[in-house]
Amino acid sequence: MALVEIQNVSKTFKTMMAGARGEVHALSGVSFSLERGEIVAITGASGCGKTTMLRIIMGLEQASGGSVVVNGRKVSACGYDRGMVFQHSELLPWRNAVQNVAFGLELKGMDKPTRVAEAQRYLDLVGLGHAAERLPHQLSGGMKQRVGIARALAIGPDVLLMDEPFGALDAQTREGLQNELLAIQAKTQQTIILVTHDLDEAVLLADRVVVMSRGRVAEMLDVRLPRPRPSLAALRGDPEFGDKRLRLWKLLKTEMDADARKAA
Partner 1 sequence: MTTDHATAPSSLRMDLATILMGRRVVTFASVTIALLLWEIFGRQVNPLFGSYPSAIAAAMVDLTVSGRLPNAFLQSLQPFVVGFSIAAILGIPIGMLLGRFRFMEAAFGIYVTAGNAMPLIAITPLFMLWFGLGFTVKVAIIATLSFFPICMSTWSGVKSIPKSLIEVGESFVGSRRAILQKIVLPASVPYIMAGIRLAVGKGIIAMIVAEFFTALSGLGGIILTAANNFETAEMFAPIIVLLTFAIILNAFVQWLERVIAPWHIQVTGQAD
Q: What are phi and psi of 234, to 5 degrees?
A: -65, -40
Sign, CA dihedral 39-43-46-47, equals: negative
With CB under 8 A as the contact rule, the residue among 26, 56, 68, 143 that binds partner 1 is 143
Site for partner 1 in 102-121 (CB under 8 A): 103-104, 106-108
Q: Please, what is the minimum distance in Å from the beta carbon of residue 140 to partner 1?
A: 5
The one among 16, 17, 21, 93 contacting partner 1 by CB under 8 A: 93
- 13 is an interface residue for partner 1 by CB under 8 A: no
Query: Dihedral of the CA atoms 190, 196, 200, 205 (nearest 10)?
Result: 0
Is residue 94 involved in binding partner 1 (CB under 8 A)?
yes
The CB-side HSE value for 184 (13 A sphere, CA atoms) comes to: 25
| Cα pseudo-dihedral 230, 234, 235, 238, rounded to 10 | -140
Q: Does 71 bind partner 1 (CB under 8 A)?
A: no
In the 8-state DSSP scheme, what is residue 254?
H
Decide: is 44 part of the binding site for partner 1 (CB under 8 A): no
Binding residues for partner 1 (CB under 8 A): 58-60, 77-80, 82-84, 86, 88, 90, 92-94, 103-104, 106-108, 134-140, 142-143, 155, 170, 172-173, 176
